[in-house]
Amino acid sequence: MLTKEEMPDCPVATTVAVIGSKWKLLIIRNLLVRPWRFNELRKDLAGISQKVLTDSLRSLESDGIVIRTVYPEVPPRVEYALSELGESLRPIMDSMEAWGRRYQSIIVAER
């Protein structure tokens, strides 16, 4: 979690600091649909390493975006879901998706 001293003055820079990496955005995209287990995420996010996924999930959890739930089973089952704060990213992600679709259609039309 960013400390008060580390937090940028600019709100956009703060948002980028919390969710700005490629993998964090794709993890959030998936978690907006439903809770996921670690290996499900790793298989769905082609190209992500186990270390990067672990680090990204830990960071998102530390920042209050993701909730990690460990179920007392044998073997243990762990699920990742968005917190209420994470769910508040939905309009941002929806806007990014809409912009991406428009951009894709413009580029395809120009070629």
Domains of the chain: 11-110 (1.10.10.10)
Tens digit of pLDDT for each residue in 1-56? 667 777 788 989 889 888 989 999 999 999 999 999 999 999 999 999 999 999 99
Distance (Å, rounded) from C-alpha 3 to C-alpha 6? Answer: 5
Q: Give the pair of three-digit tokens for residue 94.
A: 């929806």
Rounded mean pLDDT of 100-105?
Answer: 93
pLDDT at position 76:
87
Residue 79: strand pairing partners: 37, 69
For the entire predicted model, the pTM comes to 0.88
Backbone angles phi, psi at 80, to 5 degrees: -115, 135
Residue type, 66: V
pLDDT at position 2:
66
pLDDT at position 75:
87
Distance (Å, rounded) from C-alpha 52 to C-alpha 48? Answer: 6
